[in-house]
Amino acid sequence: MGKLATDPVVARIRIRKHKDFRFTVSISYDGTENFVEHSTFKDISPLNISNAMFSLKCFYTDTRKDKFFFDDIAVNFTNVDLDGPDILGLEYVNESEIAVIMNEEVDLNSLIIPTNVSVEPSTLISNIGAINNDASRLKISFVNPLISGQLYTLFFKQIKDRKGNISIRDSIDFSYTKKIFTKKHDVIITEFMADPSPTVALPEVEYVELYNRVSQRIDLTNYNLADASGKHLIRSGFIDANSFVILCNQKDTNHFKPFGKVIGLSSFPSINNSGDQLYILNELGELLHELEFDLSWYQSSTKSDGGYSLENE
């Protein structure tokens, strides 16, 4: 700003604080908005907007004390961040580590306080850190492996973002399911509806019921339900140990909730009324169970007219 040493001089000065803690000082000497960046500096001190103030401090000689004045002073806040960090979701790295996805980068120093991050039921945390130096993606490592099927609660208290704003949410529930590589007949088709009309006590839509024959919870993500015409992806979902789950079209899930656990598929096979083939495939494309039915399965002309499900015994 050496030009300020001349007489007379008119200068417009603009100082901006950016989200990365960088300040830029720009100057216009012609009285217009044609600002030219003069210098930059950084200050990582947190700014509390609620009690912040603005002032000018001048340094001058006695002969210059009446030779300057200020005009058109304005302090504006644009897109001021007053919100604390929030959890967007969780991802599983392995049975001893989870990744926590935040909506913004957090102050890593606020994570190392033992009371700020905890898991219930009591699970000892061995380390918390940023993934690939990205403080919006956090990896939490546990001393002992998580228990498959156990419901956990992750508590985040007093977690701060880069500006000192405190976390919005206090906790989030999650459960871990150990990956099981299924083999033939671990999951089987036990019941299905091929011809739902006219309705007889059951919803007037097609469905397929699966049964988990093993003593562990199974993740059905990327499994496929198939018929003779093609495969239909199960995008996500679980089937508990020695339990049933109903598969149906996503739009029909509410019909089946009174009957048990339901998983909706974005596309569902149109099972031929007179006979069809049904398959369940694991995430590797391996066949777990198949069946082929025809009208003789009903053993009744009345039931074969529609409204009755078929069971695979």
Q: What is the pLDDT of residue 1?
A: 57
Per the CB < 8 A criterion, the answer to whether 230 and 268 are in contact is: no
DSSP 254: H
Domain(s) labelled CATH 2.60.40.1260 in the chain stretch across 187-311
pLDDT (0 to 100) of residue 186: 98
**87-175 belongs to CATH 2.60.40.1220:** yes
Phi and psi based region of residue 170 (left: phi greater than 0; alpha: psi -120 to 50; beta: remaining): alpha
Quick one: pLDDT band at residue 49, thresholds 50, 70, 90? low
What is the rounded distance in angstroms from the CA atom of residue 54 to the CA atom of residue 17? 13
Which residues are within 8 A (CB) of 65 and not within 5 positions of it... i.e. 6 or more apart? none
pTM above 0.75, yes or no: no
- Tens digits of per-residue pLDDT, 278-310? 999 999 999 999 999 999 999 998 899 999 999
125-148 pLDDT tens trace: 999 999 999 999 999 999 999 988
What is the C-alpha separation between 218 and 211, in angstroms, rounded?
A: 11
pLDDT at 269 over 80: yes
Express each pLDDT in 193-231 by its tens digit: 999 999 988 999 999 999 999 998 899 999 999 999 999
The predicted model gives 64-79 an average pLDDT of 79
Please list the residue range(s) of the chain that carry CATH number 2.60.40.1220: 87-175
Cis peptide, bond prior to residue 114, ω within 30 of zero: no
Residue with tokens 């790295």: 93
Is domain 187-311 annotated with CATH 2.60.40.420? no
Cis link prior to 8 (omega < 30° from 0)?
yes
- Give the model's confidence band at 234: pLDDT under 50 very low, under 70 low, under 90 confident, else very high: very high
Closest CA to 181 of 145, 140, 219: 219
H helices of 151-199, where?
Answer: none
End-to-end, the C-alpha distance of the chain in Å comes to 89
Can you spell out the DSSP letters for 65-86?
A: TTS-----------S---PPP-
CA distance 74 to 230: 66
Average of per-residue pLDDT across 268-277:
94
d(CA 269, CA 274): 14
